[in-house]
Amino acid sequence: MTQRENPVPGRTIGEHGIVGNLDTTALVASDGTIDFMCWPHMDSPTVFAGLLDPDKGGEFTIEPELDQARTIQLYIPETNILMTRWMSEQGSVELTDFMPHPQTDTRLPASLVRCLRVPRGEVTIRVRCRPRLDYARKIPTTEHYGESVVFHDGPTSLRLGASVPLHCGEGEATAEFVLGQGDTVWFVLCGEEHDPLDVDECVAALEHTAAAWRIWARKSNYRGRWRERVERSALVLKLLTSHRHGSIAAAATFGLPEATGAERNWDYRATWIRDASFTVYAFMRLGYVEEAEHFRKWSEKRIMELGKDAALKIMYALDGSEAAEESTLDHLAGYAGSQPVRIGNAARTQTQLDIFGELMDSLYLANKYGTAMSHAGWEHVRRLVDHVRHHWRDPDEGIWEIRDEPRHFLHSRLMCWVALDRAVRLAHKRSLPAPVVEWTRDRDRIAEDIWTHFRHPEHGHFVQSKGGTDVDAALLMMPLVRFVSATDPVWLSTLDAIRDQLTDDGLVFRYRNADGLEGGDGAFTTCTFWYVECLARAGRLHEAREIMARGVLYSNHLGLFSEELSLRAEPLGNFPQALTHLAFISAAYYLDRQLSNPGGQLWQP
């Protein structure tokens, strides 16, 4: 498939950092503008959506009056506290953005906190907070409330407090002031009363939040070559995790296109069983057992809620309820004119048989290295496995959620094999009652079916779907889940076919054949790191290291990965993407161990 290379006006996807409080997140552009934030939860309506429509979406801007200023953006080490700096001959300005960590003793409510400081010179600064509520469908009324400005619209209200005077405008609050060397100003945007702003509370919240993130980051057991980048990826995954529910969002955003000007614009603010299960794998590798345990409890609840047919849904809302139905926001122009802008996701009703394997793999790991599941939980898991036994031969829409006729995808068949394999292993590991003989027999039947019916008729390598000849980057999971040896001749032939047909300078495309959708598709960043790990497992370490170096460069200036990349390697799709960050962690872990100890014993699931 080809992709339109439309020019992107305004701020690009990759020009952003992310802050959050394990309940919601905000994107902060490199010019200090917050142009995407949902409130009060990650899957709530937006209050700022300027990234999707600069005119109508709403944003929170901070503009120092500095000639030819250079901007620099960085995270305070080991934290999710973001710093943006403007530097010029006249002076410098430092902006610190964060949301108070929920496990701190701060008296601040759930809020977005912005701190401005002038390390050098005297600088005039203009601030404009222009929220647009309910996905920019509503312009709020504004009024002063003590020293704060309140934005109202029916049941929704936001309060902006500041340590400088604020002025009310139509649907906005503004401020203009001069700061001298060493001066500091604070802004707090929250959904509940907090008036007047207390500077001491803000300072304490910043200190306690930094301490909480550092304590969490230092629990990681990774000490390898890409330590800082792995740490950043782990911190991103943590931001996408709900501290209330234990669920994990696929990404923080919706409506950011896989190809500019095209229709492939989806909402990723939900928990995909697949993505979240892979995240558990990444957390376990780094030693974050608590996060894996929290998701295990969340997923067990979903399993125990299943009906008689045990048909697990591919995605859920973050609180475990049914994912939102897909609809469009036709009033928004879309990122770079990419319409329609969608919220909710129609894929929620699709059949994707691979999710059973990913979930069973995460449950197996969580039970192996964490707490054993309950007897009642195991009984429901047995029903889940029986569903796989009865349906593994069915066609489905697959991991890439095609909007075309269902097919017999190899990846779906593979993960059905994983579901049965991990169920057998778990039953043996925990001495759990189960029809292990029947499960083993069906597992082996699936393996035989894959080896017999999913091969290229001429070249013999594995193919995307039964009876087809196309390859698919999802095949890269085959050695990663230990279905096939990473050095098996058939697999090596498959790896070479993927290299020849789907890669370009470290970019890896998911597939090239039709999928029922119009418009182009970018390279999928996750697949780059699956490819790296497959090369490493095959012993091709020089190739793996070279592709890893290129893949790392495809992150943005803060080490954050988008879902996809254009043909010019520019970020596309929802951002930041959990699946890519966890794939990077896995590849970094394995490749580092192989480079340090070739042929040595590695951590095994």
DSSP state of 45: P
Instruction: Quick: pLDDT tens for 449-502.
Output: 999 999 999 999 999 999 999 999 999 999 999 999 999 999 999 999 999 999
Please report how the helices 578-596 and 273-286 are oriented relative to each other, as an axis angle in degrees rounded to 10.
40
Q: Residue 353: pLDDT above 80?
A: yes
Please report how the helices 578-596 and 525-537 are oriented relative to each other, as an axis angle in degrees rounded to 10.
20
Confidence at 598, pLDDT banded by 50, 70, 90:
low
Closest CA to 499 of 508, 491, 490: 508
Q: Please report which helix (H) or strand (E) contains residue 571, including its range.
A: strand 571-572
Instruction: Quick: pLDDT tens for 142-178.
Output: 999 888 999 998 778 999 999 999 999 999 999 999 9
Closest CA to 192 of 118, 110, 264: 110
Q: Give me the pLDDT at residue 53, please.
A: 97
Decide: 477 and 414 in contact? Cβ < 8 Å.
Answer: yes
Please report how the helices 273-286 and 289-304 are oriented relative to each other, as an axis angle in degrees rounded to 10.
150
Q: Distance between CA atoms of 119 and 346, rounded to whole angstroms?
A: 50
Helix or strand or coil: residue 572? strand
144 CB-side CA count, 13 A: 8
Q: Distance between CA atoms of 80 and 447, rounded to whole angstroms?
A: 44
Q: Give me the pLDDT at residue 195, please.
A: 67
Q: Distance between CA atoms of 1 and 518, rounded to whole angstroms?
A: 10
Strand partners, 343: 327
Confidence at 1, pLDDT banded by 50, 70, 90:
very low
Q: Between these two residues, 95 and 303, which has the higher pLDDT value?
A: 95
Mean pLDDT of the chain: 93
Strand partners, 186: 115
User: 525 is written with which tokens?
Assistant: 């960043």
Decide: 146 and 160 in contact? Cβ < 8 Å.
Answer: no
Confidence at 534, pLDDT banded by 50, 70, 90:
very high
Q: Residue 605: pLDDT above 80?
A: no
Closest CA to 180 of 85, 90, 96: 90
Residue 431 Ramachandran class (φ > 0 left, ψ -120 to 50 alpha, else beta):
left
Decide: 497 and 461 in contact? Cβ < 8 Å.
Answer: yes
Q: Please report which helix (H) or strand (E) contains residue 190, including its range.
A: strand 184-190
Decide: 565 and 545 in contact? Cβ < 8 Å.
Answer: no
User: 440 is written with which tokens?
Assistant: 């083993």
Instruction: Quick: pLDDT tens for 191-226.
Output: 876 667 899 999 999 999 999 999 999 999 999 999
Q: Give me the pLDDT at residue 88, please.
A: 97
Q: Give me the pLDDT at residue 604, please.
A: 45
The four Cα atoms 579, 582, 583, 588 give a dihedral, to 10 degrees, of 160
Rounded to whole angstroms, what are the CA distances from 286 to 279, 292, 474, 591? Answer: 11, 11, 24, 15
Helix or strand or coil: residue 353? coil
Query: pTM for the whole thing?
Result: 0.94
Peptide bond into 109 cis (omega under 30): no
Beta strands in 1-76 (DSSP E): 16-20, 25-29, 34-38, 46-48, 59-64, 70-75
Instruction: Quick: pLDDT tens for 569-587.
Output: 999 999 999 999 999 999 9
User: 66 is written with which tokens?
Assistant: 């500095």
The C-alpha R_g of the chain, in whole angstroms, comes to 25
| Phi, psi angles (nearest 5°) of residue 75 | -95, 140
Decide: 484 and 478 in contact? Cβ < 8 Å.
Answer: yes
Question: Where does residue 152 rank: exposed (0-12), middle (13-18), buried (19+ CB within 10 A)?
Answer: middle
Strand partners, 71: 86
Instruction: Quick: pLDDT tens for 12-52.
Output: 999 999 999 999 999 999 999 999 999 999 999 999 999 99
